[in-house]
Amino acid sequence: MRLVPDPPTPDDDDEFTLTPRQMHIVAIVARTLADSAYDDIDTHGDAPVTAGADRSVFTEYPATTWDQPAAWRRHAARSFDDLAADAESGRSPRPTCTGEEMALHLILRRASALHHDGHFDDELAAIPRHPEDSDWAGPLDYLFEDHDVLTLFDGITPDDGVNLDPPAWFDPFEPPRARDPQRGYRR
């Protein structure tokens, strides 16, 4: 007699995940944003981002992050790469820290816009269609634990104990789920 069901496995049919086409798009967009971030670091180093600057993906981050050093931005760039690697391996790109939450919000926003504009039509032709391919709102519900990082765009100051202060963005939410800290950087 079983009183408690087995916990869901990553292959559980009831687990919400991106469609194969969405995974492909997310991986491409995440790598593109990572490249943009690394290019910005190479070009601007520790120089702060300024309002109205036409300067890579970091202009899309909350203003509270604009004065972060190049080392912080390298962590941000790696967040895009980590989420791309998840999608490329067929795993749902679930954020493990605030930096990855911000990265995934930017990835999904850009992926949705490019997909709806037909940007990926040719390369998606070989990937089977799924009824949810165009649903980019659903992943906002099931890939994130919360959307607290977005409150930074409203100028809300982080409370103590919350990972919204930029220096804490790359601290893992749950240490057992943390990514390998020795994984290095692509660039």
Whether 157 maps to a domain, the answer reads: yes
Give the range of the structural domain holding residue 35, as residue numbers without chain letter. 20-177
Match 């605030």 to its residue by tokens. Answer: 98
Residue 5 in domain: no
Q: Answer yes or no: is pLDDT of 158 > 80.
A: no
Residue 187 resides in a domain: no
Q: Is residue 14 part of a domain?
A: no
Quick check: 107 and 83 in contact, CB under 8 A? yes
The model's pTM is 0.88
* Residue 53 placed within a domain: yes
**Helices 70-88/98-116 angle, 10° precision:** 60
Query: Cα–Cα distance between 57 and 124 in angstroms, integer?
Result: 25
The per-residue pLDDT for range 113-157, each reduced to its tens digit, is 999 999 999 999 999 999 999 999 999 999 998 899 998 998 877
* pLDDT tens, residue by residue, 60-113: 999 999 999 999 999 999 999 999 999 999 999 999 999 999 999 999 999 999
- For residues 56 and 36, give the distance between their C-alpha atoms in angstroms, rounded to a whole number: 5
Count how many residues are written for the chain. 187
- Mean pLDDT on 145-171: 84
Indicate whether 11 pLDDT > 70: no
Domain presence at residue 46: yes
Tell me if 184 is assigned to some domain. no
In the predicted model, is pLDDT for residue 10 greater than 90? no
Residue 66 within a domain: yes
Sign of the alpha-carbon dihedral angle for 58, 33, 104, 8: negative
- The total of structural domains in the chain comes to 1
- 36-43 average pLDDT score: 96
